């Protein structure tokens, strides 16, 4: 969700710390991840997204994955998705990029 709106250049000490990045990216004031994940709040953030944000997220994820590989970080796999722990980025961008390309959107 963060990559849709802004760059994310590193991991955080604990996943609950992502709330600061989410708040900044979506101009929100959630107190914690549980509040953000409440259906109404999450949907409000989703409504802020445009197709251009999805394309930006794909591009940002590609760059993160490339930099992580160049830095020699170990790539992990979980349930068919590849990722790096050092700067989290899932390879799910590959699927989204294919969908966008197949639809003629990129």
CA dist., res. 98 & res. 44, Å (int): 26
pLDDT value of residue 56: 97
pLDDT value of residue 57: 95
pLDDT value of residue 70: 92
Segments of the chain with pLDDT less than 50: none
pLDDT value of residue 19: 96
With a threshold of 0.95, does the pTM exceed it? Answer: no
pLDDT tens digits, one per residue of 3-23 = 999 998 877 888 888 999 999
Distance of CA 26 to the CA centre of its chain: 13
């Amino acid at each position: 969700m963060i990559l849709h709106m802004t760059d994310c250049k590193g991991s955080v000490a604990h996943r609950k710390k992502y709330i600061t990045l989410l708040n900044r990216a979506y101009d929100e004031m959630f107190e914690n991840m549980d509040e953000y994940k409440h259906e109404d709040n999450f949907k409000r953030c989703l409504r802020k997204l445009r197709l251009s944000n999805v394309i930006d997220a794909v591009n940002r994820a590609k760059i993160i994955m490339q930099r992580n590989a160049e830095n020699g970080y170990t790539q992990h796999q979980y349930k068919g998705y590849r990722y790096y722990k050092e700067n989290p980025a899932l390879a799910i961008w590959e699927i989204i990029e294919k969908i966008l390309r197949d639809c003629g959107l990129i």
